[in-house]
């Protein structure tokens, strides 16, 4: 897929970017003083709720505050460490125009480089691979969901005392680097935080209730077609309406 970001390596300083409190040096963008930098990308058509964009970038020289990354109608939890990132953002609502804005911001300072954005590959068939994600039938759900300190009642999984609940899924093929896996789920009765992981890759913790829509970019080829989705409690929470969408 092509990079839709223009001048993502900042070799032409700030061309094609809109910015505040930002200067450019040696092919990087240096953002400071509650500054931001953004680029508006014109797509062939507006994206819809549930569509995903993949974003790659490098963050360095951070000073004390997280970097927020967002696109029109979607965002990613704050970036708290320097490094190279390959993330995915799922839109939570339909776009009203075909202009997608990619935005980076921090309350202090950071350096940005090597920005890449592409749309998800839709030349495949999306499939929900989770079994009994609504927990409506506890007897059947227990055949697929395992863990500790869990009970299934009232149409959801109730996890307590630093417990976890997980499901191992067998796919039609192993995932490969660059595949995108989408996840939809609802958290309720939350005390503390919930960590969600897929095949050992963790997503930033959730500390609020509600329906969540997230996505992972697979960082390396898998050697098996079995993957494990896991929800871990720091205290207790309720889980319901789990869907994991894989495009195979």
Query: In terms of domains, do 131 and 232 share one?
Result: yes
Q: What is the CATH number of the domain that holds 72?
A: 2.60.120.260
- The contacts of residue 73 (CB under 8 Å, 6+ apart) are 47, 49, 91, 92, 93, 94, 95
What range does the domain containing 178 cover? 126-247
Whether 126 has a pLDDT exceeding 90, the answer reads no
- The contacts of residue 211 (CB under 8 Å, 6+ apart) are 184, 185, 186, 241
Query: In terms of domains, do 109 and 178 share one?
Result: no
**Any domain includes 136:** yes
Q: What is the pLDDT of residues 164-200, one digit of tens each?
A: 999 999 999 999 998 999 999 999 999 999 999 998 8
CB 92 within 8 A of CB 51: no
Give the residue from 119, 139, 170 where a domain finishes.
119
64 against 174, higher pLDDT:
174
Beta bridge partners of 151: 158
Q: What is the pLDDT of residues 86-120, one digit of tens each?
A: 999 999 999 999 999 999 999 899 999 999 999 98
Query: In terms of domains, do 112 and 152 share one?
Result: no
Please tell me the predicted confidence (pLDDT) of residue 1: 67
Give the residue from 80, 99, 119 where a domain finishes.
119
pTM recorded for the entire structure: 0.86
């Amino acid at each position: 897929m092509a990079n839709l970001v223009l001048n993502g390596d900042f070799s032409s300083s700030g061309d094609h970017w809109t910015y505040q409190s930002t200067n450019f040096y040696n092919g990087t963008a240096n953002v400071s003083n509650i500054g931001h930098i953004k680029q508006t990308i014109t797509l062939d058509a507006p994206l819809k709720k549930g569509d995903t964009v993949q974003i790659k970038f490098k963050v360095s020289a951070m000073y004390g505050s997280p970097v927020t990354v967002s696109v029109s109608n979607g965002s990613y939890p704050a970036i708290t460490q320097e490094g190279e990132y390959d993330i995915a953002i799922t839109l939570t609502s339909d776009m009203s125009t075909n202009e997608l804005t990619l935005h980076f911001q921090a309350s202090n300072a950071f350096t940005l480089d090597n920005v890449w954005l592409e749309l998800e590959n839709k030349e495949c068939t999306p499939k929900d691979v989770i079994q009994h994600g609504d927990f409506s039938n506890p007897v059947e759900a227990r055949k697929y969901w395992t863990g500790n300190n869990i009970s299934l009642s009232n149409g959801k999984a109730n996890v307590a005392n630093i417990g976890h609940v997980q499901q191992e899924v067998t796919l039609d093929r192993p995932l490969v680097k660059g595949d995108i896996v989408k996840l939809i789920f609802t958290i309720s009765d939350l005390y503390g935080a919930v960590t969600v992981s897929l095949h050992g890759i963790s997503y930033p913790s959730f500390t609020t209730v509600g329906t969540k829509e997230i996505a992972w970019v697979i960082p390396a080829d898998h050697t098996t077609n079995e993957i494990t989705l896991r929800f871990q409690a720091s205290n207790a929470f309720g889980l319901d309406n789990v869907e994991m969408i894989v495009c195979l």
